[in-house]
A = this chain, B = another copy of it.
Amino acid sequence: MKKYVYMFTEGDARMRNLLGGKGANLAEMTRLGLPVPRGFTITTEACNEYYAAGAELTAEMIEQIFAAMARMETSTGKLFGDLENPLLVSVRSGARASMPGMMDTILNLGLNEDVVEVLAEKTGNPRFAYDSFRRFIMMFSDVVMEIDKSHFEVKMDEMKAKLGAESDSDLDAAAMQELADIYLQVYEEIQGEPFPSDPKDQLLLSIAAVFRSWNNNRAIYYRRMHNLPSSWGTAVNVQEMVYGNMGDNSGTGVAFSRNPATGENVLYGEYLINAQGEDVVAGVRTPLPLDKLKEQMPEIYDEFKRLSDELERHYGDMQDLEFTIEDGKLFILQTRSGKRTATAALQVAVDMVAEGIITKREALTRIDPNSLDSLLHPTFKQEALDAADPIANGLPASPGVAAGQIAFTAEEAFEAHKDGKKVVLVRTETSPEDIQGMNVSEGILTSRGGMTSHAAVVARGMGKCCVTGCSKAQIDELAKTMTIDGKIFSSGDWISLDGTTGSVYDGKIDTQPAELSKNFETIMTWSDEVRQLGVRTNSDTPADAGKAKELGAEGIGLCRTEHMFFGSDRIFAFRQMIVARTEEARRAALAKILPIQQEDFEGLFRSMDGLPVTIRLLDPPLHEFLPVSDNEIQELASDLGMEVAALKAIVTELREINPMLGHRGCRLAISYPEIAEMQTEAILGAALKVKNEGVNVQPEIMVPLVAELKEFQFVKKTIDETAQRVFEQAGDKIEYLVGTMIEIPRACLTADKIAKEADFFSFGTNDLTQMAYGLSRDDAGKILDAYYKEGIFEFDPTAHVDREGVGMLMEIATRKGRSAKPEVHLGICGEHGGDPVSVEFCHLLGFDYVSCSPYRVPIARLAAAQAEMKYPNADKKILYKYDYSEEHPSSV
């Protein structure tokens, strides 16, 4: 028979997956001899089998639960439901990862109308006994039967009104007893049957309810936010009750072994005398700082401090503890790694290494890479923020904060910026034409679009605060107004944004700039010593690239040349190129762009002296560069000296039904090789020029959207022939690589052929994810709502690589590519390159590097180090021989 139940004396900290975090730590503390109330844990496996059995506890589980209860009865000397020495227990959830407040807890279980009298008598404290009973009835009703708490709270209010009491604590034992009776009636009225008085029934119903709470909406949402799989399940801990509310010799509190805000090495916490744990949380009375306990109960304090230090040293991490003092005796109810600010995390990690508690490598595992983000961006001044309430919420698309005056167009932003104003650009959604306006703004707010919309991607690249998809903001771009809850905002009005939370505030909130600490540098240095993966950046400008290099980027993994075409000095020539009807006219327009492009690349090469720079050829469909509205078309036609109708015809002709699957990427370079020629000439011309200035240039030219080897061959031929010409003209030459994006499923499946010709693969997981799922990120909004609600998606595959599907395509491409050419460089330049769990996956695949937006470079560095510690030498474990039998229909 499978073991579903473990006594605390049977487990240890390593059994977290089976016993949950809380259960494993309770067992560990029991093993270490710490004062922990007795109890047992029902495993996470039991939770999964509970669901598999159609949401039923199986006979085997029930048998093992009661066997464990019997062992508890023996060791405590108390009996469950006994009228002499009754055993009372708590029933709590405890998943593998801490999910605070997400699931349910039931206290004081074992009470009924008879037992409560015994408790009153034995403790000599009838008020305590009936208060406990009343609380138990309410909790049980809420958690197990889903009876809304308000049904009970209204009775409490009536009771207080009747007795003229101000707070709960003004009610005496008789009132509590009467309330308990009323609560029992309420229960019976709603449920149509009496409250279960048999403690065994109470226990089984409560355990099932905790299992059930694993799939409540809160828990599902939390898991999605934290990328936790639903398959983990929760454990259930059944533990003897101890009471902090038995008099002035009792109390309860919570503590951190160090300061969770700063990391300072001092015991930090608060407690209440004569109270139960929930009272501390509920804030009915104001808790006292722990220093006070040192005065009130010095021996208890010293013992607690000693245990806290012991646990910290034992676990090698700052601890978050719950304790109860029952009649002068200290019990530890829970210990776990403490949540902390990023600043504190760095401080604790560096200090603990200095104190000899953990090694440098261990220190790296104590920091959540994502938390570093908050250190790299400006924040609101706390006192200013405390006074403000958000008026709307959108998606936290790019971290940092901003306060500025509203501009509704890129031009407006540009003008306001010239006048020395701080600007927030507000649009329904942004397009590449808005880039300059975005660049001069403090932050960007859009009413549409998701985490990978244009605004989000570009803002992250710029390290600029951005909130997207704020649907509550009704933006009228023509009228230049934004309406939120009836309030109308106009150009020049102040608003503030928090791109880390997605909050939007009315008015101006003072901000403070980011400052990188010595600890930050220390942790980054340690990360670099460990990691196997290189870290590059996605940058399109020398400024972004310079910032990324400061943050540790080891090259550019993706320069999107299309952003360069929107500069006011070149968009006109580029549009001339698009509307040209002959190759000759196209070449004439391209000739005007060439010197400007070359200058762009010179700047990038200089800023990346000594590091590789990967430049992608033009990718987006050409219609993205043309205006849409009639007014703009008329204006452009007049500028171009064209008939409006002729220009409209071109705009219409270029329009596509599914532009993401349309005329873009290398398909442009095949239809119009002269574009690729111009770009190659600009890249290699720039490379030769800065080489003569003494810059070490390593250009890598990247062909986007390849689905078929011959596409790549065609464009590579154009590049190589152009290079030959450039080199001959210059009488000089330079090494360069030619590689491809791997962003189309078919490219993954034929990667062996492509690898033979390509110097490198850069996985474009944004597009690959959309094509593998058949789901456009632009259109996914309303679909995803239903998907999260129904638990169909556990996480957003554009945020974390979907290992099962997209990841398998990446793996097939990796295996096939490396089997054909072991030295092919492998990298990723999709948004996933800055996501820690995706970085881990790239490490597992043995990639050479990840590339991400500048401000995510430190995150990727730490995540890469953590991946190496979790999976050492992972790349050597992948078999680069793709198993492919001779009997293979695909090869017939």
A residues in contact (CB < 8 Å) with B: 656-663, 667, 670-671, 705, 707-708, 710-711, 714, 743-746, 749-750, 767, 770-776, 778-779, 782-783, 786-787, 790-793, 802-809, 811, 841, 844-845, 871, 874, 877-879, 883, 885, 887-892
* Complex contacts, A879 vs chain B, CB 8 Å: 885, 887
- Contacts A670-B783, A707-B805 aside, 17 further interface pairs with beta carbons under 8 A come to A657-B776, A671-B786, A705-B774, A707-B773, A708-B793, A710-B791, A711-B792, A744-B772, A745-B771, A745-B774, A746-B805, A804-B890, A804-B891, A807-B890, A811-B889, A841-B889, A845-B889
- In the complex, the chain B residue whose C-beta lies closest to that of A710 is B792
State whether B883 touches A877 (Cβ < 8 A): no
* Complex contacts, A771 vs chain B, CB 8 Å: 661, 745, 771-772, 774
- In the complex, the chain B residue whose C-beta lies closest to that of A886 is B877
**16 contacting pairs across A/B (C-beta < 8 A):** A657-B778, A660-B661, A660-B774, A661-B661, A661-B774, A671-B782, A710-B791, A745-B774, A746-B802, A746-B805, A749-B805, A750-B805, A771-B772, A804-B891, A877-B887, A878-B887
Smallest CB–CB gap between A310 and chain B, Å?
A: 34
Instruction: Report the copy number of this chain in the oligomer.
Output: 2
State whether A656 touches B776 (Cβ < 8 A): yes
- In the complex, the chain B residue whose C-beta lies closest to that of A658 is B776
State whether B808 touches A890 (Cβ < 8 A): yes
- Given the complex of chains A and B, what is the CA–CA distance between A667 and B784 in angstroms? 9
State whether A888 touches B811 (Cβ < 8 A): yes
Assess A670 versus B746: contact at CB under 8 Å? Given A776-B656, A779-B658, A804-B890. no
State whether B708 touches A809 (Cβ < 8 A): no
State whether A772 touches B749 (Cβ < 8 A): yes
- Given the complex of chains A and B, what is the CA–CA distance between A657 and B658 in angstroms? 7
Smallest CB–CB gap between A244 and chain B, Å?
A: 44
State whether A749 touches B779 (Cβ < 8 A): no
Cross-chain contact of A892 among B711, B786, B844, B888 (Cβ < 8 A): B844
Smallest CB–CB gap between A780 and chain B, Å?
A: 8
Smallest CB–CB gap between A860 and chain B, Å?
A: 18
State whether A746 touches B770 (Cβ < 8 A): no
- Given the complex of chains A and B, what is the CA–CA distance between A770 and B658 in angstroms? 11
- Given the complex of chains A and B, what is the CA–CA distance between A368 and B865 in angstroms? 61
* Complex contacts, A811 vs chain B, CB 8 Å: 888-890
Smallest CB–CB gap between A842 and chain B, Å?
A: 9
State whether A778 touches B658 (Cβ < 8 A): yes
* Complex contacts, A660 vs chain B, CB 8 Å: 657-658, 661, 774
Smallest CB–CB gap between A448 and chain B, Å?
A: 11
Smallest CB–CB gap between A877 and chain B, Å?
A: 5
Smallest CB–CB gap between A81 and chain B, Å?
A: 41
- Given the complex of chains A and B, what is the CA–CA distance between A661 and B768 in angstroms? 13
Assess A746 versus B774: contact at CB under 8 Å? Given A658-B660, A890-B803. yes
- Given the complex of chains A and B, what is the CA–CA distance between A787 and B710 in angstroms? 9
* Complex contacts, A670 vs chain B, CB 8 Å: 783, 786-787, 790, 792
Smallest CB–CB gap between A471 and chain B, Å?
A: 12
Assess A774 versus B889: contact at CB under 8 Å? Given A662-B779, A809-B749. no
- Given the complex of chains A and B, what is the CA–CA distance between A543 and B716 in angstroms? 53
State whether B845 touches A782 (Cβ < 8 A): no
State whether A792 touches B745 (Cβ < 8 A): no
State whether A807 touches B658 (Cβ < 8 A): no
Assess A889 versus B844: contact at CB under 8 Å? Given A771-B771, A783-B667, A805-B749. yes
- Given the complex of chains A and B, what is the CA–CA distance between A637 and B786 in angstroms? 28
State whether B775 touches A707 (Cβ < 8 A): yes
* Complex contacts, A874 vs chain B, CB 8 Å: 889
- In the complex, the chain B residue whose C-beta lies closest to that of A711 is B792
* Complex contacts, A663 vs chain B, CB 8 Å: 779, 782-783
Smallest CB–CB gap between A832 and chain B, Å?
A: 14
* Complex contacts, A841 vs chain B, CB 8 Å: 889, 892
Smallest CB–CB gap between A867 and chain B, Å?
A: 11
* Complex contacts, A776 vs chain B, CB 8 Å: 656-658, 661-662
Smallest CB–CB gap between A622 and chain B, Å?
A: 11
State whether B803 touches A889 (Cβ < 8 A): yes
